[in-house]
Structure 1
Amino acid sequence: MPHRQYFTPVLCLGLLLSLSLLKMPSAYGQQSETAAPPTQALSQALSQKQRQQLRIIALAPHIVESLFAIGAGEQIIATTAHSDFPKEASVIPQIGNYARLQIEKIVQLQPDVIIAWKNGNPNEDLSRLAQYHLQVEYSQPITLADVADDILLLGRITGREEQAQQVASRYLEQLHDLQMHYANATPVKVFYELWSRPLRTVANQAWPQQQLELCGASNPFGKASDDYPQVGLEQVLVSLPQVVIQPTMNNSNQADALDWQQWPHIPAAKNNFILHPNADKVHRMTIRMLDEVSVMCEQIEQARQFYQATSRPGSTNESDKT
């Protein structure tokens, strides 16, 4: 599924607990109805200093990036493929990718805690980790605001609550500012090219769809039944998008991306509103994402102002507003 591949073209554990943790009643094994949640139990069992020394396996690039953001990057002993930001993350040993985790290597590393991606790691592998009685915490950002909750979770796990609170607060403030800025913006018709062969876009609660809505964009396929629907090229051309978004790796051109200039009748191609945000940033659930989305919103705003100007009575380019 696209969400497990970090919406490619960007492609998108631990071991047995220490003896002291294993002796704890039910907190790390089968929980009773009154047992504390794993993160809470971890906080209660260990001091702040002990949590700051936990050896962590992080099972997704966005988890790695967020751990570094709160100053806990040095605690990571292993991660998965494409965990490349910040640059220090590139040298961390890798024990799998979005499709498969190397369970044996994870067990051999004997991590104190594993932080997994609830919606992105293979369910079968996560179940196997549970069989080894490994301490697993879950990252599960669904909405843009959930990034802040994820940061706070990582802060509790690593004993860096204060740093996490500061990072999360700044993120939510930036998110709120963007929401307010574009809350009443005139919709601009935007097609999001997630994947070219087959042609796939975003809809519903998909991560990029939420970003489009934040920018005041109107997605002609936004109500599709699937979050990442496959669409026909003819459907896109008929919808006459005013802006086309093609996320790329490090803002470089992708060999398999569609050349929209082949269809100069669509407003996006005619008026040169083909945008190329950095996929590494917009497709990862991290604080860095909002910086790139902010740029994307500004570019969509430029298109909005252009089409509003050309739609005024007497404009020689009134047809461009379609």
Structure 2
Amino acid sequence: MNIKPIRLLTALLLSVLLSLNSYANDNTKKPSIIALSPHIVEMLYDVGAGEQIIGTTAHADYPEQAKNIPRIGNYIRLQIERVIELQPDLIIAWKSGNPSDDLARLEQLGFTIVYSQPHSFQDIATEMRYFAEIAGHKAQGERITAAFEDKLTNIISSYKNKTPIIGFYELWSRPLTTVAQNSWPQQFMDICKVENPFKQVTTPYPQVNIEQVIPMSVQLIIQPRSASQSDLEGFNWPNWQVIPAVANNKIIKPDADGLHRMTLRSLTALQSLCAEVDLIRQ
């Protein structure tokens, strides 16, 4: 019996089956997603799932394509009827940034909801891996996240031995609001070796008055600004020349969107901030 033709036929059938299996895997339907915050939208685009987003909330404006996603609410209220119409396979919600009663209602209606609540750079990495996996983009998510972690490690290493400089972080001008422990921006100050005189305040975002700032001998003022921010004037620092940072014109204005959105861009913002601080330090 000549078994050579049988082997060739078997090999051919196996090749066809593998090709069909590969085609099926490549064309597996990925879940449609409603992403309920700008940072979640940005994360999903970063891991390759941006085209799966069928609804989002106000202010989701990055990347540029995100501006075309239908809006189904904001941080105050979600349009439950619109969510029902869209019938997403998955809802990714911001645990502290979306109305809890609306989320509870959506859960009661049977929608699958997962939550985002990043408090640190490492949380960004953890969430990106998870979102990439549930959205069907595990490989790209792992690649992007690993690069993010490597870059973070390098930045931390570059500045860990720098001489600290006393800085004031102006989160908002009216009323004058800064940051403290457990706030998102505090990790930027820690990594860039900026001593925050208000770090130990128990409220993450305390309101302060200028009389509290003056005695702190602040050497640097960090005043993040955003092009979309209505209050672009900031605090009237030039009136307070008694503060060393003001007298020496050591006021920097980094991009607020990069600093305050918990995404890959925040790491670029960290690197830029540390470089600016280093110039002031020198």
Identity value in percent: 45
Q: Mapping of 1:64-213 within 5 angstroms?
A: 64-213=41-190
Q: 2:249 aligns with which of 251, 272, 287?
A: 272
Specify the SS of the correspondent of 2:221: strand
Give, as a single letter, the amino acid of the residue that structure 2 aligns with 1:61: P
TM-superposed CA distance for 1:48, in Å, is: 6.2
Give, as a single letter, the amino acid of the residue that structure 2 aligns with 1:236: V
Specify the SS of the correspondent of 1:171: helix
- How many angstroms apart in 2 are the aligned matches of 1:241 and 1:230? 17
Give, as a single letter, the amino acid of the residue that structure 2 aligns with 1:78: G
Specify the SS of the correspondent of 2:76: coil
- Which stretches in structure 1 are left out of the alignment for 5+ residues? 1-46, 306-322
> Which residue is equivalent to 1:300?
277
- How many angstroms apart in 1 are the aligned matches of 2:241 and 2:227? 26
TM-superposition CA deviations, 1:263-317 (whole Å, max 9, x none): 1221111121111111111100001111111111111111111xxxxxxxxxxxx
- How many angstroms apart in 2 are the aligned matches of 1:243 and 1:251? 24
> Which residue is equivalent to 1:216?
193
> Which residue is equivalent to 1:230?
207
Moved more, 154-163 or 262-271: 262-271
Contact 1:78 1:92 in 2 (8 A): yes
TM-superposition CA deviations, 1:13-34 (whole Å, max 9, x none): xxxxxxxxxxxxxxxxxxxxxx
TM-superposition CA deviations, 1:236-275 (whole Å, max 9, x none): 1221211111111139894441121111221111121111
> Which residue is equivalent to 1:258?
235
Residues 233 and 48 (structure 1), Cα distance of their counterparts in 2 relative to 1, 3 Å cut: farther
Residues 212 and 69 (structure 1), Cα distance of their counterparts in 2 relative to 1, 3 Å cut: same
Tell me if 1:284 matches 2:261: yes
> Which residue is equivalent to 1:240?
217
Give, as a single letter, the amino acid of the residue that structure 1 aligns with 2:208: V
Contact 2:35 2:57 in 1 (8 A): yes
TM-superposed CA distance for 1:58, in Å, is: 0.2
Contact 1:148 1:168 in 2 (8 A): yes
- How many angstroms apart in 2 are the aligned matches of 1:295 and 1:212? 12
- How many angstroms apart in 2 are the aligned matches of 1:52 and 1:82? 28
Give, as a single letter, the amino acid of the residue that structure 1 aligns with 2:38: P
Specify the SS of the correspondent of 1:195: coil
Contact 1:191 1:201 in 2 (8 A): yes
Give, as a single letter, the amino acid of the residue that structure 2 aligns with 1:140: Q
Give, as a single letter, the amino acid of the residue that structure 2 aligns with 1:160: H
> Which residue is equivalent to 1:41?
none
- How many angstroms apart in 2 are the aligned matches of 1:282 and 1:255? 16
TM-superposition CA deviations, 1:115-134 (whole Å, max 9, x none): 11122212222111111110
TM-superposition CA deviations, 1:203-249 (whole Å, max 9, x none): 11211011110111100000001111111121112212111111111
- How many angstroms apart in 2 are the aligned matches of 1:291 and 1:256? 25
Moved more, 250-259 or 159-168: 250-259
- How many angstroms apart in 1 are the aligned matches of 2:229 and 2:253? 8
CA RMSD of aligned residues (A): 1.8
> Which residue is equivalent to 1:56?
33
Contact 2:225 2:232 in 1 (8 A): no
Residue correspondences, number: 259
- Which stretches in structure 2 are left out of the alignment for 5+ residues? 1-23
Runs (4+) of structure 1 moved beyond 3 Å? 47-52, 250-256
